[in-house]
Structure formats: C-alpha cells, structure tokens
Chains A and B, each alone.
Chain A
Amino acid sequence: MTELRTHTRQSVDWWLIGTYLVLVVIGWLNIYAATHSSEPGSLLSWSSRAGKQFVWILSSLGLAGAILYLIPPRMWESGCIPFYVAVLGLLVLVIFVSSDVKGSHSWFNLGPIRFQPAEISKISTSLLLAYVMSQQNFRITRWKDFWTAVLIIGVPMLVIIGESETGSALVYAGFIFVLYREGLSGWWLGAIGLVIILFVGTLRWSAYWSVMLMTAMLLLCNTAEGPAHLRKGRLLYGGIFVLVMGAFPFVLRHVCNKVQAHMDFLSSRVWVPSAHETYHYTWSFLLDVNPLWVLLGLCGLALPLLAVWAWHQKDRFLAISLGVWLAGVALVSSTDYIFQHVLQPHQRSRIEVLLGLKEDPSGVGYNVLQSKIAIGSGGLFGKGFLQGTQTTFGFVPEQATDFIFCTVGEEWGFLGCLVVIGLYTFLITRLVLDAESCRGKFTRIYGYCVASCVFMHLFINVGMTIGLMPVIGIPLPLLSYGGSSLWAFTLLIFIFLSLYRNEKKYF
C-alpha cells in the first residue's frame, strides 16, 4: 500500500475529540466535587487536586495538538519497535528504583511528578501489535504468528504483574478482542469465558456443578456446530454421558440416603478426593466406596469410548471438546490450589468478597460497600453538584482517582451515570467504526487496541465501584484524577486520530 499525499480532503474526527473533551471536563468537575471539602480551593487553584487536574488537562491538550499537528504520523509505525523495547526497559527498571506505593512498585518519582510506565506500555504494546499484525504475511490462525502476538502482549503483562500491578495487567487481556477482530477463532473467547465460569463456579458453588455446567455447555456447542450427521451422534452419546453423570448424585442419594457424608462432594467447594479420607464409613462395605471414585470411574469408561467414536467418525470438533473437557476438569481440580497458593492474600480476599464467600465490611468489603452506598444514594437525579455526602465527606476511599465514578453516581444520579457511560460507549463505538473504515491494517488494528483498552478500563473500573468486579485499582479513563493516566489516554486516542487523519488523506 503506497502512500499518496495528494488529497487533504478529510480532517480529524471532531466527534471523537468532542467526546474526549466532554469526558475530561466531567472528570475535572467531579474531582472538584470529590475533594472540595477536604481541600478547599477553587477549581483552578494549584493547591487542590482539581486545580492540578486542570493543569494536566491543559498539558494534555498541548500534547494532543502536538500529536495532531507536529509529529508526523508515520513515526508511530516506524518507531514502534524501539519504543516498545524502551518502555519494556522502563517497566523492568521501575521494579528496582521505585518506591513502594501501596505494595506496588510501578511508579517513577521524578521530583514533583510521578509517572507509571505501565500507562505508556499500553501505547507501545498497541503500536507494536498493530505493526506486527499488519504485516502482509501475518496470519493469526498460524500458530507461529499467534504466539508472536501473544508474546507481544504477554511480556509487558508479565512484567507489570511483577510490579504487583495485577489490575493494570488485566487490561492487556482486552487485546484478545483485537486478535478476534483479526481472525482469531471465536472459540478462544469462549474458552476464556469458560475458564472464568469454572473458576467462579467452583469457588462459589461446587466443583461437581461446575464440571456439569461445562459438560452441558460443551454438549450444546457440539450439537450446534458441524455437519448434521455428526451432530446427531454427538447429541446421542454426549447426552447419555451428561444424563448419567448428572443423575449420579441423585441415584446415589436415593440408594444410600442414610449416608449424607457421601453427598458432601456435591456441595464441597473443591473436588479433592483426599478430603474424603477423613470420613469413617461404618455402614457397610458397599458404602465404603467413595462415590467420587465411582463417578471418576464412569467418566474414565465413557471418555475413551467417546474418543474412539470421535476418531472413527474423524470428528475433530468432538475430539477437541473432549480435550477441553479434560482441561476443564483439571482446572476445577486445581482451582483451590490456584486460589490458595498462586493468588496473593489481598487478591484472594477481594475475590472472596466479590463472590460473597466472606463478609468483610471493615476491610476489603468496606471500599465496595461505601462505594455502593454512595452510588445507591444518588437515585435517579442525584443529589446535585457538590451536594454529595458520601463522596465529599470521605467515606469512599480513593474518591478522586479509582472511585471517581461514585461521585458521578451520587451527585448526578442514574441519569449522570447514563450520560457518562453513554459517552464512553459512543467513544468506543466511534473508535471501532473509524477503525473499520480504514484501509490500512495498521491504523485499524491500532484503533481496535485503543477501543479495547478504553473498554477494559471502563468495565473493570465501573464494575468495581458497583461490586460486579473485584477491587482492582485502575483508573477510569479521562475522568480519574492523575496526570499519568490522563496523558496516557490522551496519547492513545490522539495517536489514533492522527493515524486516522493520515489514512483519510488517501481519498
């Protein structure tokens, strides 16, 4: 694709810029509302955070202007590899030189300015991903190319996890949407969904029911996908498998209803056979058999049969499903181990609070409860600007940064939330549609990266304030207080605008 700098017909996307500006101003006003009682001072005074945010906004606008009018758009594509490497270097460096901020080592302290390389890393990763994936011979369906993309995303992600900034790392999971757009099989999205469901289901309900849910889901996929003659057989054999497994506990309950202890595995959180060794079965030798082993035996018999049948029919989809099933069972079995040993205590307790496994209104639960109280007290129209009691009097923690959405919810009510979330939705949709309208793959992929980042931040942050997500400390783009985050999102969005404008010049 050659560049022809002949036409300058199209200018920048002013709709996007307008949305950006409105969100930034909304953020500024809400920061003022959240802090005005503890930090007296006007909207513009440097001593208050609202005043500082004003300076960040002005400088961001300067940055935006520079990107649009000074920096040649081609530079982003040509310089993305050194940029990526440099940011990665900073990400590693910061672990060793940073001071400890609430347990994470992710901030550079440069005199009065603190900055988080993880924010910039989103940009460099997006650019490199767009660069690599826009190469002529790149095919995401090829394993080599797939792993290249995963590596580009995964390396900064792992380093950020190393900085104890798991929340920021989680945002990188959003790049899966980009890969999907560029041809990654939709089953990967399904697989990620399945992992989440199994993990939550095992913790929240029981291992048995998680496995049953997975089995049913796989059966459903198998009967919906593929040629008709295969689907019939899958439905028959898979259905028998599901019915036998599903009925097993009820048969067991009926046969030996005296031994309730045997039924514990239905409600036990984790499917660990050793947990049953402590029981004393004195009823009869028949009842001495652990029902779990019977169930495993049944599966052990059924799976090879299904596998042989899949091989016989050359049914690749069914074979993969069986593999996924086994992996799922392995995940369920190790959920407890992951939960207890891999996750850190604070992450564990956040998940426990989210899933309602633990009440902790003074600890982790305090933040979420106060946040929900603040938002919930807003009602339809809110209490009005500066009239909030929860957010202004400091009940909500981090009320100007990660929990800024509480102020929106309390003072502007449901209508305010609707407007703010609507603006984000417009922003993301506009980014996607603009990206779609591009001819150049680089700009398109980069646009999707930006949209994914904004979406992940929005969903995790707002989800956290209303108790849908665990407490993950990431800012709400453009609204939360903080120069680092505002600059990063300004760069992210305006680089796209610059590329997009450049793109349009072809026509």
Chain B
Amino acid sequence: MTGDRRHIRLLVGLGAAVLLLLGSIFSIQLLDDRYKQDADRNSTVYETIYPTRGAIFDRNGAVLVGNKVAYDILVSPREVKAFDTLALATALGVTPEFIRGKMDEYHRKRASIGFQAVTMMRMVPAETYLRFEEVKYKFPGFRGQSRGMREYPVNAGGNLLGYVSEVNQRYMELHPGEYRSGDYAGMTGIEAAREQDLRGEKGYHIYLRNARNQIEQPFKDGTMDKEAVPGKNITTTIDAQLQQYGQELMAGKVGSVVAIEPSTGEILALVSSPGIDVEQLADIGKHYNEIAKNPYKPMYNRAVQASYPPGSVFKLVNALIGMQEGVLRPEMRYPCSHGYHYGAGHKLGCHGHRSPIDMTESIMMSCNAYYCYVLKNIVDNRKYDSPADGLDHWNEYVKSFGFGRKLGSDFPAELAGSIPSSRTYNRSYGRGRWNSTTVISLSIGQGEILATPMHLANLCATIANRGHYYIPHIIKASEGIEIDPRFYEPQYTLVDTTHFPKVIRGMWLAVNAPAGAGGTARVAHVDSLDICGKTGTAQNPRGADNSVFICFAPKDNPKIALAAYVENGGFGAAYAAPIASLMAEKYLKGKTSRPELEKRMMESNLMDRVKHD
C-alpha cells in the first residue's frame, strides 16, 4: 500500500502548489508594473501648486487681464464626521440642501472617490473663504485651496480676451495628459490662443500619507517637489483706451470696428457689438446661459466671424484692379444717370450727382455706374478668352488683398469670407451662360462677395501702405513671447504700388472735399488729421442697409486704419463714418473734438432695427 510511494506524489504536488504561489508572486512583484504605480498613488499625496496665470497687457502696458485670489472648497468625504450642515452652509453662503446634495453625491461615488479630496465649490471669493476659515476646525474633511482668478481692470475687449473655465471631459481628451479634472484653461479668444504661454506649469508638493489620508511627512524631505512655474505675460497690440472707446461708441448697435496699425499689422482695437462684458468673463459659469440665450449672440465675434457684403468700399479694389489691368485710367470719365443701364430695361441705381465724372470723383461721390463700367471692362477684357477667364483674373487680384481667405491672423476662429470665381457662376447659370452683366453687382461690392470687417480693415491698411499689408495680429512679441515670422513679412497685392495714390486722393476728397463738392464722408472730417475714407452702404436682405466705412489717417505715413460696420445703420456716413473717425481722432489726438457727434453715437440705439433669427 505504501509501496506506491505516495509520499513522493504528495511532495511533487506540494512543489507544484509552491511553484504556483511563487509564480504568482513573481508576476505581481517583477512582471507587472501596475502595482508599483498604484502603491505610489496610494501612499503619496500630491498637493498641486497652481501657477499664477500670465497677465495680459495692452500695447501701452496697461493691464487688461490680471489675477486675483479666489478659493476652492475641497472635501475628503472619508474624513468628514457628522457636522452641522446649517452652520457650514451659512459660512459658505449656500443652502443646506446644496451641501446635503453634494454629500449624497459623494456617498454614491464613494467607491471612485476613495480617499481623495474632491472640489465641492469653486471660485469662492475671499470674503466667503475667510468666514469659512474661522469655523473650519468644526468641519474635519473640509479645506480651502487658493486659486488664481481672472480680474479685469478695464472693460475692454471682452470678446477678444476670451474666458477661462474649468476643463471638461472633451477638452481633456483633446489635450491628452495636459489637464486634470478641476484645472482651468482658456476657452476662447487670447486666453485660448495663448493658453500654452499663459497657463504656466503646475508644481506639486509630495507628502506621505496613511490609509486615513492623514499626512505623515514630506516625501523624501521635499526633494522630489516641484515648484510651479508662473505663466508668461502676454502683451497684446490692443490699445485699451481705444478699445474701450470703440465699445462705448458701438453700444446699442450691432456690428464691429477693427483698427489696425498699417505699418505693422497690429490690431489696435477689435470691437464686436454687442459683446461680452469683462464682468461676465470673470465668472463665465454664472453668466454662460444668459450670454448663450441673448438673441444678439454676444459671444459671436463679428469682427472676424461675420461675413457681410462689403458694399461700396469694395469699389476701391475694383478701381485698383482696373488700373492695373489697363482698362481704367484715372482720367477716364463715365456717365451716370441715376445708375447704370444694361440689358433690356435693367438698371443698377445710383444717387443723384453730377455726371460724367472721373475716377477720383467716383470714389469721392461713390458712383455706382462708374464701377459697372470698370467691372465690365475688367471682365470683358479682350486679352482674356471669355468673361469667365476675365472674372478669374479679377478673383486672383481680389484675393491678393486678403479677401476670400483667412488672413492668417493669430486670432482663432477667423472666417474666410468668399470671393466668387467663374466656377461660382458656372454652377448657378451653366458654363458660358452668363456674362459681365450677370455679375455686375460685384462692381459695387454686392452680390456673391462676402468679407469680414477684419478683411475691410486690412484693405484699408493695404491702401494706407500703398500696396502691401502685414497680417493683422493681436499679440505683440515681448519678453519670452515670440510671434510667428509671417507677421513681419509685408504681403504685396498684385496691383502696382503706383496706382494707390490715385485712389487715396479720392478717399481724401471723400472726407475732406469742401462742402457741396459731393464728398460722401464729410462727417468724418477732422481738422489737421487728413483722414482718408470710403463709405459703403451694403444691402441687408433683413432690413435697413448696413452702414460701412473704412478710413486711415493721416494721409501720409498713416498711423491707423479702421473699418467700421454697423448692421442696419443705413448710409455709410450715418454711423460707420462718425464712429470710425471718432476712434481715429481719439487714437491720434488722445481726445475728441466733436462732443455732440460722440454723444449721438454713444446714445443711439439701433437694436430694434436688427432682425435676428
């Protein structure tokens, strides 16, 4: 019975069992890294040190966005003992139901929370926090953590600064590994565009803790700690005074104003109205619904995101192309009898003015008929095979002014607008079934042309520079901050620089011609400023015409180029020209000399004219 050496079999079984145990231990200890990481996470507490977010300055060093301290209230649910809900609610300025709700939620999620601390309230102001701090000892498990909060000393540029808010799941997925739940990031505007520079680097202090989450000691005497690196400051090209003044002028109106320094392409002001007040930015979470529900869409940055027909200001482009193509000489005169008659009884209307006129006068008086001839000559140019060919050449010229494409600004969410080409019309009419008269409204900046106010300001800067522009941008190079070299490169149009002075002469006359001469923008005249401008009155299918104006000043060595676009504002001279000229004056002189006009602009309200969906 014992002869079958069963003890050997049993010992072999023992060996197998022992090998099974040792093999499992070997795999846990030496093959699987997971448990080591878990152990570190288990026993060390990372106290995050949040860096201060970089400040944002205007071009003159004034603070646009600074920081102030707010507090997050954290709670470690496992440490919480029974407490007086009402007392805590009073200290924190919330309802007891809020706290009860939160505690219930943590109880439900206790498995995933474990020993961690979770954020119960965010951005508690300092006063509330101090009240809480006094009674904190009664509430084990609750603590505060300071956190920088955005502060806005001047109400300038709410839309372009953008807001900072807590990252959501989607944001974290888009930026893997960079953010953790509870972190803040710039979501729109400059805050978003320069997030990498502004945010700085988080630091941490490591402590050892026990299973009850009590801190035992600094880990390795703090040698592994990392201090936070503060975010870099950003200097913008914005002039805070001008920006704020522009916002005040645009109050009660829908539209935008863009001001550019022609010699650099720096954006001096970028007003979108109605816009977001900086107070709303500071606590976007609270105001978000209110902003989102506003029918005028204040979040929408019209300066770069709204595409409009440019209207008469586009005549300048057609004039320049005509001259470059040789189909227009400045001294050429065309007749205008309240418009341009073409085809069988078709007419593109014009206002009453003397006739015939030359090119300079046509700009000054903004004659429609004149540009119908110009466009017809461009499109029907004999050197091209067909009107389609002619139109495509025109398209190429127009695009060289930056139209119909994104300018490449450092501003996020820029729209391209659109400039038609032969393909556009082939699609709607069929190949060869359209001609210059079909596209005649392009002559006066109507029809299939769409451009943003930024495009118009860029056009103005291009003319001010006599033929080139710098890509408009909003961030200035400063210490530690570099901007893309493309912003230093002059962008030349396909039109020779020699043609520009002739157009500028017309623009100067439009503003500065003596009374009775027919200048359309005399309202923009300011003594000794030499403003050159061009009005536009763009058709708006949804009500009154849009008021458009571009201008630069002074005529020689221009310092500022502006485009103003006021929806449903009527004639260019009605709102856009006064607003743009006031801003030019404010920027160049530091003060304005026309208090009545200024008052009228600030107080006028066109909101009820605006039809929204």
Q: Which residues on A are within 8 Å of B, measured CB to CB?
A: 37-38, 177, 180-183, 186, 361-363, 369-370, 372-380, 389-390, 393-395, 409, 413-414, 417-418, 421, 424-425, 428-429, 432-433, 435-436, 455, 459, 462-463, 466-468
Contact = CB atoms under 8 A, between A and B. Distances in A.
A124 to B, nearest CB: 23
A362 B111 contact: yes
A183 B5 CA distance: 11
Contacts of A373: 35, 38-39, 42
B379 to A, nearest CB: 65
Count chain A CB atoms within 10 A of each CB in B9, B26, B209, B211 and give the residue with the most.
B211
Contacts of B426: none
B427 interface: no
Contact of B28 (A180, A372, A425, A463): A372
B82 interface: no
A425 B18 contact: yes
A479 B10 CA distance: 24
Contact of B208 (A393, A394, A417, A421): A393
Contact of B36 (A376, A414, A467): A376
Contact of B24 (A413, A418, A428, A468): A468
A181 B35 contact: no
A180 B6 contact: yes
A468 B29 CA distance: 15
B211 A395 contact: yes
A2 B607 CA distance: 120
A455 B14 CA distance: 8
A414 B39 contact: no
10 A-B pairs closest in CB distance: A376-B35, A377-B39, A393-B210, A389-B43, A394-B211, A362-B111, A376-B28, A395-B211, A373-B38, A414-B29
B43 A390 contact: yes
Contacts of A436: 7
Given A421-B18, A432-B10, A466-B25, A377 B35 contact: yes
A428 B22 contact: no
A180 B114 contact: no
Nearest to A178: B10
A418 B38 CA distance: 23
B346 to A, nearest CB: 68
A393 B35 CA distance: 16
Given A409-B29, A421-B22, A393 B36 contact: no
A362 B44 CA distance: 19
Contacts of A363: 111
Contact of B209 (A393, A417, A421, A459): A393
Contacts of B25: 375, 409, 414, 417, 421, 462, 466
B10 A459 contact: no
Contact of A376 (B1, B17, B29, B111): B29
A315 B36 CA distance: 57
B34 A376 contact: yes
Contact of B30 (A186, A379, A424): A379
B413 interface: no
B138 interface: no
A393 B211 contact: yes
A23 B193 CA distance: 65
A375 B10 contact: no
Nearest to A177: B10
15 contacts: A181-B6, A373-B35, A375-B25, A376-B36, A376-B38, A377-B39, A393-B208, A395-B42, A417-B22, A417-B29, A421-B22, A429-B14, A455-B17, A462-B25, A466-B24
Given A181-B6, A181-B10, A417-B25, A376 B18 contact: no
Contacts of B10: 177, 180-181, 432
A464 B110 CA distance: 25
Nearest to A433: B7
A395 B34 CA distance: 17
A502 to B, nearest CB: 21
Contacts of B7: 181, 432-433, 435-436
A390 B30 contact: no
Interface in B1-49: 1-2, 6-7, 9-11, 14-15, 17-18, 20-22, 24-26, 28-30, 32, 34-36, 38-40, 42-44
A462 B34 contact: no
Contact of A394 (B30, B44, B210): B210
Given A376-B38, A413-B29, 14 more contacts: A37-B210, A180-B6, A376-B34, A376-B36, A377-B38, A377-B40, A378-B29, A395-B43, A414-B26, A421-B18, A421-B21, A425-B15, A466-B25, A466-B28
A425 B208 contact: no
B42 A389 contact: yes
B612 interface: no
B14 A390 contact: no
B599 interface: no
Nearest to A425: B18
B216 interface: yes
Interface string B109-141: 011001000000000000000000000000000
A177 B7 CA distance: 10
B212 interface: yes
Contacts of A455: 14, 17
B448 to A, nearest CB: 56
Nearest to B36: A377
A267 to B, nearest CB: 28
Contacts of B9: 186
Contacts of A463: 21
A361 B42 CA distance: 13
Contacts of B44: 389
Count chain A CB atoms within 10 A of each CB in B7, B210, B216 and give the residue with the most.
B7
Contact of A393 (B20, B24, B216): B216
A377 B44 CA distance: 13
Contacts of A378: 29
Given A379-B29, A436-B7, A466-B25, A428 B43 contact: no
B14 A428 contact: yes
B42 A390 contact: yes
A375 B29 contact: yes
Contacts of A435: 7
A393 B219 CA distance: 14
B211 A362 contact: no
Nearest to A435: B7
B111 A361 contact: yes
A22 B35 CA distance: 29
B114 A362 contact: yes
A389 B34 CA distance: 16
Nearest to B20: A468
Contacts of A432: 7, 10-11, 14
Contacts of A376: 28-29, 32, 34-36, 38-39
